[in-house]
Amino acid sequence: MTARIAPSVLSADFRTLGADIAMCDAGGADWIHVDVMDGRFVPSLSFGAKVIEAARRSSTKVIDVHLMVVEPERYFDDFVKAGADVLTIHAEAVPHLDRQLMRIKELGCKAGVALNPATPLSAIEEIVHLLDLVLIMSVNPGYGGQKFIEYSVDKIERARFLLDQAGSDAALEVDGGISRDTIARCWEAGADTFVAGNAIFSAANPQAEIGVLRGLCAARV
Ligand code: DX5
Ligand code: ZN
């Protein structure tokens, strides 16, 4: 397989959001990553269903929605209606992960769990079989453009082991500080899907950068 690259809309130019998303789509992005923030789970506010809808209309790729919110279940219906293909909720925000993952699946959507840097992998051990995606946060969530946390690489390796042991084919995604300097190490550790905001949208040629990042991950069988 080759690495999947998921440009993060958070770093796009909001004056030309639809065009930026379409540009990533045409540039070979595999997924479009949409960060929803509520000012409670994380300090900042971002956007909701309207932007998911805009992403859906601007791209034919997988719309990968990362919910950095408390009580995420309040938004499942609206976000699926808006066109989300994957909904990822944070283990730290949800006391009833099993129930919420089942609800997402009932809506016909793929379900993921995200783990903050300080959250141990054991938070998902019992429910691996319910997961379509595991998201390892390699920064503390809330902002684009932060520095990659080095100890995430070891966690990715252990997450890969956990998924393989369980016979799971869930995607293993990394989010935060992914760049030319960090992507290869995460790929080698076993991640297959890479969110990149700053690295793509601050590049002189964002479309070419998608290919550069993917190219740093050698194909694996
Ligand atoms: C961080 C968000 C990320 C962010 C990544 O809280 O979840 O998706 O957009 O941005 P970069 O790639 O700039 O670290
Ligand atoms: Zn994200």
Name the average pLDDT for the chain. Answer: 97
Q: Say which DSSP state 179 is in.
A: S
Question: Is residue 177 in contact with ligand 1, taking CB distance under 6 Å?
Answer: yes
pLDDT over 80 at 220, yes or no:
no
CA 143, CA 35: separation in Å to the nearest integer? 10
SS3 state at 43: coil
pLDDT over 90 at 218, yes or no:
no
Q: Report angle CA 79, 61, 190 to the nearest 5 degrees.
A: 95
CA 111, CA 204: separation in Å to the nearest integer? 34
Q: Whose CA is nearest to atom 9 of ligand 1?
A: 144
The ligand 1 atom at the shortest distance from the C-alpha of residue 179 is 12
pLDDT over 90 at 193, yes or no:
yes
pLDDT over 80 at 221, yes or no:
no
* Tokens 């550790």 belong to residue: 189
- Token representation of residue 87: 């909904």
User: Do the beta carbons of residue 211 and residue 28 sit within 8 Å?
Assistant: yes
pLDDT over 90 at 1, yes or no:
no
| Ligand 1 pocket mutation pick from 173, 195, 201 by most atoms within 8 angstroms of CB | 195
* Tokens 């950068």 belong to residue: 209
Instruction: Report pLDDT digits (tens) over 91-149.
Output: 999 999 999 999 999 999 999 999 999 999 999 999 999 999 999 999 999 999 999 99
- Token representation of residue 162: 């956990």
Q: Whose CA is nearest to atom 7 of ligand 1?
A: 141
Mean pLDDT of 67-75: 98
Please report the pLDDT score of residue 162 as a whole number: 98
Question: Is residue 7 in contact with ligand 1, taking CB distance under 6 Å?
Answer: no
> How far away, in angstroms, is 129 Cα from ligand 2 center?
23
Instruction: Report pLDDT digits (tens) over 146-185.
Output: 999 999 999 999 999 999 999 999 999 999 999 999 999 9
Question: Is residue 8 in contact with ligand 1, taking CB distance under 6 Å?
Answer: yes
Query: Which stretch of DSSP H or E encloses residue 31?
Result: strand 31-37
CA 91, CA 152: separation in Å to the nearest integer? 17
